[in-house]
Each structure stands twice: as C-alpha cells, then as structure tokens.
Amino acid sequence: MKKNIITVILCLLLILTAFPAFSTAAQEDETISSTAHTQLKPSNEIIKWKVEFDFSVFEGNPEEYDHTLARMSLGMAASSFRNNDNPEHRDEWIIQYLDEAGFENITTEWYDKDTTEHSISTAIALKELGDKTVIAAVPCGGNYENEWLSNFNVGDEVRHVGFAEAAELVKERIMKYISDNDLTGDLILWMSGYSRGGAVANLVEADMTSSGMFTKVFGYNYAVPHNTRDYEEQIYYNIFNILGKFDIVPLIPFLEWGYGRYGLNLYTPAQEMDSNYDELFSNASIVSEMLTGREMVNNPGVNSQLHMLMEYLYQMLPTSEDYENVMKEPIRKAFSEGDISDVLNVFISALNNVDGADSAQMATIDSMLDYLETIVGTYLQGNKSDAGKGHWDKNVGLAMNLIREHNPDAYINWMFSSNDPEVMFTDSIVTGKIIISGNVEIDIYGESEYVESVRSDGYTYIKDELFTGDLAVPSIYALKKGQQLIIMLPPDRDYSIVINSLETGSVGYMGTIYMVENIIGYMLPVVDFEAEAGGKYYLYYIEDETDERGFRLELKDGTGEDVKHSEFNVVYSPELINRFENFDVYHLTIADALMIAIGIILFVALLFAVDLIIAIVHGIKCRKRGKPYSKYYIIVPHLLLALMFFIMTEFSCYSIPAIRIVPPLMASLGMLILTLVALRGNMRRNCMRNTVILILCAAATVAVYITFRITKLGVFGIPQLIILFIIYLAAAIGAVYTFPHDAKVKLRNCSN
C-alpha cells in the first residue's frame, strides 16, 4: 500500500513539473556543408546545424581517429531520428542530410511504418569517389517508440539479444542494398549510430570488419550502450565509441554482468574528473548558445543521483539472470502501458509492480523508492544549491535535467567545441567523492595551489587572502546537504582540503572512488575526530598504486602530525552512501505531501460546513423577513480561506518552486476569494465606489497571477512575502469596505 501511494504521488509530482566548427561562410570547392537535424527529449525541441563534409577522410586509415569524420558521423547519427511530427516523411532529416552531402540512391526502411519491438529504421546511401564507393549506413537512434522494448531484451547470451536481432536486420539491408545497386570493387562502409542505434551499429561494424568484404570500415558511434560479452576477444581499432562520462545509458547492461562494446572508447569531459573542465566547458557553452539559445548546463549532483540509482539496480540484480527473472517483464509492461518519453515515471511504475523478488530485493526496491522520493523532493524545492550555481536548469522540467548528459545536444556541444580531440578526450576516468560532516568551512588546494573555499552553508567562493591570481585554477564541485559538505575531486592533480572547524565537536569524513563504466565504487575508511573551534586540519587526497582503490585519505594537523581519530572500514553499499549524504537533509516527503493535502481538504470542508450553516440560518431568517444578521458571517470565512491561500503561496514558493504553476495559482486563488467578498459587498450596496473596488480586486487577481508567473516572485524570500502581504491586505480592506459599516445588514426580500 505504501509503495502504491508513493508511486502515484511521485508520478503526479513529476507530471507537474562563436561556433567554430559550424559552416557559416562560403566553403572551398572540395568541401560540402550539410544540414543536420535532431530532436531533444522530453522537450521535443528541434535543433539544426551545418556540418562540413570532407570526403578525403575516407582515403585515410580507419584505425586513426579523425575529428572531421567524427563530426560528420554525429550529424548522420543525430539526423537519423524519426521525425514523428511529420508522419508522411519521418525520414526527412536523414534524407536531407545525406542528399545535401552529395550521396545518391538514398534508401530508407521502416520510417514509414509504426515501430515494434522487433523493428529498426535505417538509411543507406552511396557516394562515388573515383574508383571507390562509400556506403553510408545508419540505424535510427531516436524517437523509435516501441523499439524501446528491445532494449530491455538483454538475454543471457554472448550478445544483447535485442540489439543483436536489430543488427542482423541492418546487415541484411546493407547486403541487399549492395546487390540491388550492383556494387562491386573497392567498397568502403561508413556507419554511425546514437544510443540504441549506436549499439546496433557497433555490432554491425564489428561483423562487417571481420567479414573482409569491405576495403575499409569506418565506425563512429555515440552514447553507446553495452552490447556484447566478447568485446575483449578482438579489439576493433576502426570503431570509435564517444561517450559522456556520466551518461547512464552506456552503463546498461552493466559491466559487472560481463558486458562491454567493440572498439575504442573516448570520453567527453566531466567536472568531476577533469581539472581543466572550466576552460573546456566555456567553449562547449558557446556552441550551446548558438545551437539552442541557452547556455550549457552541467550538474554533477544529478550525475551522482542517477549513478546511485544504477547502484541500487545492480544491488538488486547482481546478474543478468536476476534481471531476466525479476525485472524484465515489469519494466517491459511499464513501457508498454506508459508514456515512453517519461522514463522516470515508467521506472517507478516498474519497481512498484515487481513480482517474484526475494526479501533482499524487495528491501532494495523500498530503499530505491525512498531515494527517488529524496530526488523528487529536492527537485520540488528547486535544487536551491545547484540552481544558484547554474548546475540546475530551472527553465525545464525534472526529466530534462535528469537525462541532460544523454541528450544529443550535449554531444554536439562537446564535439564542436574544439578542433583538437586530444584536448577534448581526456584519460581521466576516475573521481573521488569526499563527504565531510560537521560545522566546518573548507579551503581546497590542487598541487599546493589554492583553488577555492566552501562556506558552512555550501556557498563556494574565493578568499582574497589566499588567491594567487592564477585564473586557470580548476573549479571543484561542492554541495551542501544538511551538515554534510560533498566535494567531487578529479584524480589528475594531488588535492588537499583544509578543514576549518567553526566549533568544538565531532567532525567526520568518508570517501568513495568511482570509475567510468563501473557501477559499484570503492569505499575509503570512515573517519571521525574531535575538532577544536578555530582549528585547522589538513586532509590529503593521495594517489596510491599499492591500494586497489587507487587513492587514500590522510589527516594531518598544522605541524604535519597525524590527528588522533577513529577509523572504520565498511563495505560499500548505496544505502550507506545515501545515509551519509542525506543524514539530516529536509525534503518534501510523501508523508508531508499527504498531511498538507489532508489539512487543506479538512480546512476547506470546515469552511464549507460553516457556509452551509450560514445559508441555513439565512433561509430561516429570510422567512422571518427583515431580521438583521451579521455581515461577518460572510466576511470571516472568506478571509480565512484567503489567508490559507496566502500561506500556501509562501509554502509553495519555499518548498516546491520547481512546479512553477503552483505559487501563481495559490496567490491568484487567494485574490479571487477576496474579489468574491467584494462582489458580495457590491451586491449588498451597489454604488460607484464599490464597483471600482470590485474592478480593482479583479484586476489585482489577474495581475498577481501574471506577475508571479513571469517574474521571480515565485521564489521564496522576505521581499516577495512583504509584497504579496501588502497586496492581500489592501484587497482585504477594500473588499470589507464594500459592506455597510454597521455590523448588521438588513436582508433584502428573498422573493425578489
């Protein structure tokens, strides 16, 4: 019962809720510009950009990464998305992309049909380059609807069953295309794919390379899920998989189940793993502004939350056999019956309908639902810490913020942000998460160079007395949760943390190490020590090749001596990390939401009962003709109701600002109640003054809604509270003033 309530409420809350590489100038004769399109989910925003083609890349070695070809491939993979807004021509984007690039005999399959679990849309075309023929082939990578179901058909074989089935279809179509067009001689295969399309393309590229029927095979894939267990048997150096370090889609099915992908993996930057992230991010953000009109947003907090959900899943399903037996059918059923674009709601529904799980798995499911409640509660409160630092995009909903790392615009921003792949693709694939509890402030140093400081409230700033003037220092992600400071440290520098204790008492810390593509992290010992007010303690984050975790933490005092402390070695688990991070964190819980809803219902019911009693009394007194009754029987209940909406407005501004419709709705409903009071008064005593008051109250109702909707008044703060209170008070005084000044009101003839 508890899980059903949690599921329903979570679902309801979620529902409420210069461009250097682009072609902008005339190109040289041998260079062609092609228009790429793609669609972002769940916003359905369509974006387009120009991609430069240089066909000389196909003369090169396919085992050497080529950045121009990688960009051409990304344009092809992103344009392969089905345009479901145009059912008659769902393949228009990929046809335009290949046609403008000079490809001929463009053949698309299944774009004109509804998708099924066993279908895949493809586009194949050719380009004659002297005595060579380049065959471009791309499986659809987005908007494929029912094909989602094959993603969950993992199986327990060497290859992911759903991806392997689709790969066989693509190979058959390529072979048929070659036959239908009588292609012989020097054939070059160029493939790309995104997400599911990337997983399918990856398998086809490997098989076509092994077949020997092509002179060269070029493969560039993006956001590629794991798809095979024999990926280490043969290394395909001609296949490049470009991945976001915190894109969760490439993590599935889990590496711990034995799955990987063919070819070489290249990773785009992440703040948690790259100390030079700020410089790289600023270039990518320029691309984002030209592409979408918005700055690029990066959110390590969300990355951590999504990774935590994957950890819970792995804890519940440690083998692919467990997945097949416990989770496969519930998640397939949830996707079949739900809105595929709302992945989180479908995921919650699947968890709530698991059958056949043992007690340990059910306990993990309950823990996951509680953690989801924390995520949603944090979102509803506007993610104040992250939003203030630009990590959280308040202009889009929860789902868009959660899947940002997987959306194609993230890959486009990175791929077109630099012409030097060695700068963009980094070898840093580890991050360390340090959690410090206690009333402390910290100063962070990298390679003995001052980086930044974090106040006890989580605010990150630069201390003038410590700043050396070096603008190239890294920006470290830090977040405050309750009494916990959470810091994410890249491994590419030796970092140290100065802990400044603000009071005498216990201070604790712990560390976890995470590697790209691994689900479960490595736990460093949990440490607790007694700190003195004003004391400085030095925590060193040190690389240690003798330790399987790769790093260790050392605590020293100002003289370099070890600090006396208690140390505990614990086994890593997502529940443990969750408790450490959210030990005393307030968020809007399901119980809170239920109590608030019940309170509002009871309050409104009480007022309705009072009004009903007044109506009955009114009827009795009407029969007695003219006996006076008090105007306060009308005024007081309405004022109480308006007061309730005022309180709910301030509560929603503070606790659920992310649901942007709620504060203006609550504020305008309160004003509407006061307008009704003015209307009742005007009906009692119709005069010019009362009519003007009524019109002003009605105008104020509309103005309050519009103002709260389009400005920052929907964010909690003392100025906002004062402004709204003044408006309410003025409206209340005016509404009450419309009634006769004597306490008793003569009843009009009820028969009139």
The model's pTM is 0.79
What is the β-pairing status of strands 186-194 and 132-139?
parallel
**In this predicted structure, which of 78-87, 182-191, 556-565, 593-602 has the lowest mean pLDDT?**
593-602
Q: Which residue do the tokens 């698309």 mark?
A: 108
The residue among 662 and 421 whose pLDDT is bigger is 421
Could you tell me how many helices (H) and strands (E) the chain has, helices first? 22, 24
Residue 614 has pLDDT above 90, yes or no: no
- Per-residue pLDDT tens for 532-548? 999 999 998 887 777 76
Q: CA dist 650 to 395, 545, 644, Å?
A: 21, 54, 10
Number of Cβ within 10 Å of residue 633's Cβ equals 16
Which pLDDT belongs to residue 324?
87
Q: Within 10 A of 697 (CB to CB), how many other CB atoms are there?
A: 25
Both tokens of 738, joined, read: 């419309």
CA distance 678 to 672: 10
Q: In this model, does residue 747 exceed pLDDT 50?
A: no
How crowded is the C-beta side of 678, counted as CA atoms within 13 Å? 29
Residues 313-319 have a mean pLDDT of 88
Which one of 24-28, 531-535, 670-674, 741-745 scores highest in mean pLDDT? Answer: 531-535
Q: How far apart are CA 721 and CA 708, in angstroms?
A: 12
What is the pLDDT at residue 213? 93
- Note the pLDDT of residue 188: 97
Phi first, then psi: what are they for 645, rounded to 5°? -70, -35
* Degrees to nearest 5, angle at CA 509 with 508 and 513: 165
Q: Share the mean pLDDT of the chain.
A: 81
Encoding tokens for residue 737? Answer: 């003033």
Quote the tokens at residue 743.
């306490």
Average pLDDT on 159-168 reads 96
pLDDT > 90? residue 315: no
Candidate ranges 76-85, 238-247, 344-353, 428-437; pick with highest mean pLDDT: 238-247
Residues 6+ apart with CB under 8 A from 119: 110, 113, 146, 147, 169
pLDDT at 714: 46
Quick check: helix, strand or coil at residue 40? coil
Question: Please, which pLDDT band fits residue 20 given cuts at 50, 70 and 90?
Answer: very low
- Cα–Cα distance measured from residue 402 to residue 414, given in angstroms and rounded to the nearest whole number: 18
Range from 139-143, 349-353, 502-506 carrying the lowest mean pLDDT: 349-353
Task: With cut-offs at 50, 70 and 90, classify the pLDDT of residue 591.
Answer: low
End-to-end alpha carbon distance in the chain: 54
Per-residue pLDDT at 218 exceeds 90 = yes
- Tracing tokens 């959690």 back to the chain, one arrives at 435
Query: Residue 1's pLDDT band (boundaries 50, 70, 90)?
Result: low
586 or 651, greater pLDDT: 651
More confident of the two residues 79 and 45: 79
143, 79, 54, 693: which is closest to 412 by C-alpha?
Answer: 79
Residue 430: in which H helix or E strand, if any?
strand 430-437
Phi, psi of 163 (to 5 degrees): -70, -40
Supply φ then ψ for residue 217, to 5 degrees.
Answer: -130, 120
The per-residue pLDDT for 176 is: 96
CA 88 to chain centre: 32
Average pLDDT over residues 357-377: 76
Instruction: Using the predicted structure, report yes or no on whether residue 28 has a pLDDT greater than 50.
Output: no
Q: What is the pLDDT of residue 630?
A: 60
Tell me which residue of 22, 16, 18 sits closest to 415, measured CA to CA: 22
Give the separation between CA 720 and CA 311, rounded to whole angstroms. Answer: 41
Candidate ranges 66-75, 270-279, 675-684, 722-731; pick with highest mean pLDDT: 66-75
- pLDDT value for 618: 63
Q: Is the pLDDT of residue 17 over 50?
A: no
Whether the bond into 574 is cis, omega within 30 of 0: no
- DSSP E strand boundaries for 40-114: 46-54, 104-109
- Which of 281-295, 308-322, 414-428, 577-591 is predicted with the least confidence, judged by mean pLDDT? 577-591
Is 485 within 8 Å of 223 (Cβ atoms)? Answer: no
As a whole number of angstroms, the distance between CA 88 and CA 248 comes to: 33
Round to whole Å and give the CA distance between 76 and 106: 13
Question: What are the CA-CA distances from residue 183 to residues 169, 177, 490, 736 (Å)?
Answer: 20, 8, 51, 87
At 428 the pLDDT is: 86
**What's the rounded mean pLDDT across residues 344-360?**
71
Torsion of CA 35, 39, 44, 45, to 10 degrees: -40
DSSP 739: S
Percent of the chain with pLDDT over 70: 80
Alpha-carbon span 528 to 582, nearest angstrom: 18
Is residue 16 scored above 50 in pLDDT? no
The two most distant CA atoms of the chain are separated, in Å, by 107
pLDDT at position 73? 96
pLDDT of residue 226: 96
* Section 665-690 average pLDDT: 83
Q: What is the mean pLDDT of residues 615-638?
A: 63
The SS3 of residue 661 is coil
Instruction: Identify the bridge partners of residue 132 per DSSP, sorted by sequence position.
Output: 129, 186
Length of the chain as a residue count: 752
Does residue 338 register a pLDDT over 90? no
Query: What separation in angstroms does the CA of 245 have from each of 50, 198, 271, 301, 432?
Result: 26, 16, 10, 14, 14
Lowest-confidence pick of 184-188, 265-269, 697-701, 719-723: 719-723
The arithmetic mean of pLDDT across residues 645-660, rounded, is: 69
- Percent pLDDT > 90 in the chain is 32
DSSP 475: -
Question: What secondary structure does DSSP assign to 580-626, as a single string?
Answer: HHTTT-----HHHHHHHHHHHHHHHHHHHHHHHHHHHHHHHHHHT-S
Per-residue model confidence (pLDDT) at position 21:
42
pLDDT at position 593: 65
Alpha-carbon distance 244 to 194, whole Å? 12
In angstroms, the Cα distances linking 5 to 197, 244, 575 are: 37, 35, 22
User: Is it true that the peptide bond before 250 is cis, omega within 30 degrees of 0?
Assistant: no
pLDDT value for 307: 87
To which H or E segment does residue 694 belong? helix 688-710
- Return d(Cα 235, Cα 230) in angstroms, integer: 10
Of residues 625 and 379, more confidently modeled: 379
Q: What is the pLDDT of residues 94-127, one digit of tens each?
A: 999 999 999 999 999 999 898 888 999 999 999 9
Kind and range of the H or E run holding 126: strand 122-129
Pick from 317, 332, 331: which is nearest to 362 by CA? 317
What is the pLDDT, as a whole number, of residue 463? Answer: 86
pLDDT in the model for residue 342:
56
Distance CA 417, CA 20 (A): 7
DSSP 3-state of 737:
helix
Helix intervals (H) in 190-265: 196-211
